[in-house]
Amino acid sequence: MHISEITVHRPVLATVISLFLVLIGLVSYDKISIREYPDIDKPVVTVNTIYRGASAEIIERDITQILEDSLAGISNIKEIKSESKDELSSIRIEFTLSRDMESAANDVREKVARASPKLPIDADKPRVAKSDTDARAVLWVGFTSKQLDTIQLNDYLDRNIVDRLSILPGVASITVGGERKYAIRIWLDPDKMSSRKITVDDVLTAINKENIEKPAGRLESTQTEIGIQVKSKLSDIDMFRDIVIKNFDGKKIRLGDISDIVIGPESERGFLRANGDSAIGLGVVRQTKSNVLKVTKAVKDELDLIRPSLPENINMFIGYDQSIFVEESISEVNFALFISMLMVIGVIYFFLSTASATFIPAITIPVSLISTLYVIYILGYSLNVLTFLALVLAIGLIVDDSIVVLENIKRRLDDGESPIEASVLGAKQITFVVIATTLVLVSVFLPLSFMDGKTGRLFIEFGVVLSFAVIFSSIVALTLTPMLCSKLIRSETKKHYEPLMVTKFRNFYQSSLEKSQKNPKKVYISSFVMIVIAVLLFQVIQKELAPTEDRGIFIISISGPEGASLDYTDSIVKEVEKELEPYSKNN
């Protein structure tokens, strides 16, 4: 028995099929990630190693070269780039697009682990990280204070704000920009050390020897147990000053005798300023596949709760919000989607002239589009500009099958058949056409998903979404459309008058068709000329991966000459800030 015959005789079944497709689509919508573009990250893994106090030459010789030699044996590597600078070795490994990111990262970790024993003992353990756009902050929150210094401000945020933001749903971690944690900074006096024959190794050995905390066991009796805790951690400046470095000429040389000990930031190699004031920034990194709009909304809501409890001397503001541009882009596409639906329904009504005939193909649009959301979710895709573009383009295609089925059923009704008979036979007669049309459209758009390179990864979601939207429309056309026709469409007793514009177009098309049949050579020649013109224009037109967009932000990168100090670079940055200050006052 044909599927259309089953649904016509069992209208509840046809309705349930469509409602089921709509239901799974609506349930999936809330679980789909929303982002600006599909995930097209290259398989890139980075290895960073910190060796404090080492020059760029030592970093290159003792760390970068050793790690590069070990990593070179990994398969499917496209390119290895390395950078060695004072205290830092950075290696970037880019793999071919066919390489799985997780597998590549595991191979890199294995090679790094094998090479680690060859690295200097004092160097930090190499950090292996995957390059991922989801690992970048989607929201930056700035904090400034006129009374607290950045160390105190950082300490307040670490104790009161960071944990509240990091536990929000969809938040993976919080990145601290301009971080300045409390630390004991020891400034050694080389003259005093030289006169007492003390080296830096002597100081490090003495500090490590004193600043320890070891288990001391417990005392046990027949009825009680008492744990023994030996507190030998150094907790204030005076304890550091009293550390004995060595005995010299019968006297104890303490750390305070050869150094100046102060409380300062853990690192002074960088800082953050906002609107000319020293600041601390908190960057919100979202979880992979999470909804960027929901994450930023949850963070903003939490910030609204935090704001009343902030001390009066701390100012909080949002410095960067990626969700603004993403939301605007998605809203524009949604508006285009809504307008295209109205225009398609309007065109259908203009030609069919009845509300019942318009409703049948029009109902195909929401059913097919909403059903496609389930495919987006089950394949792990996201709602982005390109998937929404696929849904917009699909609107004009998914109504075709229903219109063809409706027109054939209407013709049989006008020939005197009953609504049930016309619906069953009309759908059966046109089934092959519907299937063939669907296969042709799928064969056009689905191959986009098999393109190589970055372009292929960009359009894979576009091709799949558009193809499945057409497939769902054919299912609706062969199930729901015949059933609705049997209930809503009736044979018209009065003559239908088509619009004057349609009549004129029909006459124009008839005359042009007759002329083209009488002059086939002209048709061939004009078609060939159009193809040549199209090829020539394709060679001339400028090409780019994506159009240039105004996001309302710009970034100025400043690099000082080789060997420039932090203070020198900061002075240059202040000059740039001074030039930009008038623009900030004018928004």
550 lies in some domain: no
Three-class secondary structure of residue 373 per DSSP: helix
- d(C-alpha 353, C-alpha 360), whole Å: 13
303 lies in some domain: no
Q: Residues of the chain whose pLDDT is less than 70?
A: 1, 41, 131-135, 215, 230-232, 288-289, 453, 491-498, 545-547, 549, 551, 585-587
254 lies in some domain: yes
- d(C-alpha 584, C-alpha 576), whole Å: 12
- d(C-alpha 306, C-alpha 288), whole Å: 26
> Do 473 and 349 share a domain, yes or no?
yes
The model's pTM is 0.71
Cα torsion through 149, 152, 157, 159, rounded to 10: 180
> Do 432 and 366 share a domain, yes or no?
yes
CA angle 159, 162, 167 (to 5 degrees): 120
> Do 189 and 122 share a domain, yes or no?
no
> Do 331 and 461 share a domain, yes or no?
yes
> Do 353 and 480 share a domain, yes or no?
yes
- Among the three residues 501, 531, 555, which one is the final residue of a domain in this structure? 501
> Do 239 and 125 share a domain, yes or no?
no
* Token pair listed for 434: 């519907």
Give 542-569 pLDDT, tens digit per residue. Answer: 877 666 767 677 788 887 787 777 788 8
Domain that holds residue 189: 183-265
User: What average pLDDT does the chain have?
Assistant: 84
What was the pLDDT predicted at 131? 64
- d(C-alpha 64, C-alpha 80), whole Å: 11
- d(C-alpha 235, C-alpha 232), whole Å: 9
What was the pLDDT predicted at 529? 94
CA atoms within 13 A on the CB side of 308: 4
> Do 49 and 11 share a domain, yes or no?
no
Q: Domain count for the chain, please give it.
A: 3
112 lies in some domain: yes
Three-class secondary structure of residue 577 per DSSP: helix
> Do 346 and 462 share a domain, yes or no?
yes
Query: What CATH number corresponds to the domain at position 209?
Result: 3.30.2090.10
> Do 377 and 439 share a domain, yes or no?
yes
> Do 339 and 487 share a domain, yes or no?
yes
**Residues with Cβ within 8 Å of residue 314, at least 6 apart in sequence:** 143, 144, 145, 148, 153, 156
> Do 246 and 379 share a domain, yes or no?
no
* Of 75, 120, 119, residue with least CA distance to 93: 75
Cα torsion through 541, 546, 550, 551, rounded to 10: 180
* Residue appearing with tokens 């995930």: 39
Give 326-381 pLDDT, tens digit per residue. Answer: 888 788 878 888 888 888 888 888 777 778 888 888 888 889 889 999 999 998 88
462 lies in some domain: yes
> Do 54 and 111 share a domain, yes or no?
yes
* Token pair listed for 549: 């967009």
- Among the three residues 100, 131, 162, which one is the final residue of a domain in this structure? 131
Three-class secondary structure of residue 129 per DSSP: strand
- Among the three residues 472, 501, 530, which one is the final residue of a domain in this structure? 501
356 lies in some domain: yes
**Residues with Cβ within 8 Å of residue 438, at least 6 apart in sequence:** 401, 470, 471, 473, 474
Query: What CATH number corresponds to the domain at position 73?
Result: 3.30.70.1430
234 lies in some domain: yes
